């Protein structure tokens, strides 16, 4: 079967990684799956033209109901959709977008939500036949670069300290866009850094929103103890995560944060903002720590620094949680089974 797969493919983003992984699941079942960036198409008509080329595509798949799913509304082959997160958490609040997403869901042969919570939200805001929404958590696979140099990574990020091993590096992994809220902790973290200069915050991720990136760069430049790293390959990022003290998430909204799950898989404690998408993954004091204000972030960080038993517990349980709930085998079987329904 020849499938078209649309997703938002900004380089080095969680979306891109997820799309590549799902494509490999589909192709391992013998199908042909062409992955294309939704940003390359102006309208549903463009996609309809592509679908009907010779040899024609026989089915389609999209990640994100609005950004990619709306482009499938004019096609005459069966398709499935995968909720991205911001579509169900944010875009449903805009009536014009909600109506479009409702149409997409009605036409789709199936839909996939990463969590039960996301499925419930979709059922609440969109006219959907509940039976066509399947819950399949993201499969996680980490791969650490052998050639990664921690000292060079920190120095290139602007951290100029002689004995880097003494530092406690909090790594905030996110694409630079407003929904990720990378500046949420900056002011309070800087105050904490001034009290204890060994604590530093490094923000790393692709520059997705150019205007917002300029704002982030300006704030970081004038803020002590907070640094902005150049984006790295997936393997180098995993190596940096493995070396840091804790991986941080400060998003306003998340579908399912791959960075949180990757940190757990790598044996690194997670400090995540207490929002529904994160709370679905992080059980407070069991698989990680949740905070709901910048001040509480500092409090939870201090606990992680002073309580070795707590640290060991969340690391151990986080790794077990990923192994149990986010294996690639189950994810592969689910997508192969769902794609078969498009035949």
**Residue 17 half-sphere exposure toward CB, CA atoms < 13 A:** 21
What percent of the chain lies above the pLDDT cut of 70?
99
What pLDDT, on the 0 to 100 scale, is given for residue 165? 87
What percent of the chain lies above the pLDDT cut of 90?
88
Instruction: For residue 92, report the phi and psi dihedrals to the nearest 5 degrees.
Output: -65, -20
Length in residues, the chain: 343
**CA-CA distance, 234 to 14, in Å (whole number)?**
10
What pLDDT, on the 0 to 100 scale, is given for residue 12? 63
How deeply is 252 buried, as exposed, middle or buried, from its count of CB atoms within 10 A (0-12, 13-18, 19+)?
Answer: middle
Closest C-alpha to 226, from 250, 247, 197: 197
**CA-CA distance, 127 to 299, in Å (whole number)?**
42
**CA-CA distance, 158 to 190, in Å (whole number)?**
15
What pLDDT, on the 0 to 100 scale, is given for residue 163? 82
Residue that wins the pLDDT comparison between 125 and 148 = 148
**CA-CA distance, 72 to 18, in Å (whole number)?**
20
Per-residue confidence at 259, pLDDT binned at 50, 70, 90?
very high
DSSP 8-state secondary structure symbol assigned to residue 284:
B
Largest CA distance in the chain: 66
How deeply is 178 buried, as exposed, middle or buried, from its count of CB atoms within 10 A (0-12, 13-18, 19+)?
Answer: middle
What pLDDT, on the 0 to 100 scale, is given for residue 130? 79
Per-residue pLDDT, averaged over 225-249, amounts to 97
275-312 tens-digit pLDDT: 998 999 999 999 999 999 999 999 999 999 999 999 99
Angle at the Cα of 189 from the Cα atoms of 207 and 283, rounded to 5 degrees: 85
Per-residue pLDDT, averaged over 58-72, amounts to 97
111 touches 132 (CB < 8 A): yes
Closest C-alpha to 19, from 4, 29, 30, 31: 4
Mean pLDDT, the chain, integer? 95
Q: How far is CA 302 from CA 170, 185, 204, 297, 311, in A?
A: 12, 15, 22, 9, 11
Per-residue pLDDT, averaged over 12-38, amounts to 92
Closest C-alpha to 253, from 205, 170, 181: 181
What pLDDT, on the 0 to 100 scale, is given for residue 319? 98
What pLDDT, on the 0 to 100 scale, is given for residue 129? 73
The enclosing H or E element of 303 equals helix 294-306
DSSP 8-state secondary structure symbol assigned to residue 109:
S
Domains (ranges, CATH) in the chain? 2-139+327-341 (3.40.50.2000), 150-326 (3.40.50.2000)
105 touches 122 (CB < 8 A): yes
Closest C-alpha to 312, from 269, 265, 274, 252: 269
**CA-CA distance, 343 to 339, in Å (whole number)?**
7
153-175 tens-digit pLDDT: 999 999 987 788 899 999 999 99
Closest C-alpha to 328, from 119, 79, 20: 20
């Amino acid at each position: 079967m020849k499938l078209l797969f649309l997703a938002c493919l900004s380089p080095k983003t969680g979306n891109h990684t997820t799309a590549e992984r799902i494509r490999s699941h589909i192709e391992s079942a013998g199908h042909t799956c062409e992955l294309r960036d939704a940003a390359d198409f102006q309208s549903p008509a463009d996609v309809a033209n592509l679908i009907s080329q010779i040899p024609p595509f026989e089915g389609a798949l999209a990640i994100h109901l609005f950004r990619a799913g709306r482009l499938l509304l004019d096609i005459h082959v069966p398709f499935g959709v995968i909720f991205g997160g911001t579509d169900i958490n944010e875009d449903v609040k805009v009536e014009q977008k909600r109506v479009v997403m409702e149409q997409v869901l009605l036409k789709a042969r199936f839909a996939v939500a990463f969590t039960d919570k996301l499925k419930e939200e979709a059922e609440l805001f969109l006219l959907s036949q509940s039976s066509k929404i399947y819950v399949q958590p993201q499969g996680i696979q980490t791969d650490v670069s052998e050639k990664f140099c921690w000292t060079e990574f920190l120095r290139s990020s602007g951290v100029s300290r002689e004995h880097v091993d003494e530092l406690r590096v909090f790594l905030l992994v996110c694409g630079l866009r407003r929904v990720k809220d990378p500046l949420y902790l900056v002011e309070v973290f800087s105050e904490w850094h001034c009290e204890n200069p060994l604590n530093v915050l490094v923000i790393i991720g692709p520059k997705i929103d150019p205007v917002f990136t300029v704002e982030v760069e300006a704030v970081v430049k004038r803020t002590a103890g907070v640094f902005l790293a150049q984006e790295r390959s997936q393997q180098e990022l995993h190596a940096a995560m493995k070396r840091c003290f804790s991986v941080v998430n400060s998003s306003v909204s998340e579908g399912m944060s791959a960075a949180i799950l990757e940190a757990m898989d790598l044996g690194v404690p997670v400090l995540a903002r207490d929002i529904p998408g994160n709370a679905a993954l992080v059980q407070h004091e069991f698989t990680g720590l949740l905070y709901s204000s910048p001040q509480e972030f500092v409090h939870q960080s201090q606990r992680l620094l002073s309580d070795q038993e707590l640290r060991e517990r969340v690391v151990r349980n986080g790794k077990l949680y990923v192994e149990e709930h986010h294996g690639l085998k189950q994810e592969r079987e689910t997508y192969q089974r769902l794609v078969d329904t498009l035949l």
